[in-house]
Amino acid sequence: MHVDETILAVIARANPGDFAIYRIREGKLILFAGSPSLPALSGMTEEEYTALTAPDAARIVLEKDRPHVTQMVEQILSDGKDIDFTYHILHKTKGAVWIHAKSRL
């Protein structure tokens, strides 16, 4: 699917920091579009980040935090309200780092 670059530019300007847009397909989070610096959050190159997250972006979430992230995704899908939450992702050199996410359906 073609992503309208104007829409992505508006999203990038409206959201300070990094952003990611996901689709849910067969219970997996699939990255649809994201800010160019998204892989840097994990200390990975774009190639390393893509290799890890392409099958399911949830793979970068620390295993112990995945149930919480799943619960947050289910919550936003069920009630449509914005959510604000934190969780850990894998980091290439630090082991893990905190992510503060604000999500909108």
For 46-88, the pLDDT digits (tens) are 999 999 999 999 999 999 999 999 999 999 999 989 999 999 9
The CA distance from 68 to 77, in Å, is: 14
The predicted structure's pLDDT at residue 4 = 62
User: Contact 31/49 with Cβ under 8 angstroms?
Assistant: no
Pairing verdict, β 20-25 and 28-34: antiparallel
Long-range contacts of 91-98 (CB under 8 A, 24+ apart): 91/41, 91/42, 91/43, 92/42, 92/43, 92/44, 92/48, 93/43, 94/43, 96/62, 97/41, 97/42, 97/43
pTM strictly above 0.75 = yes
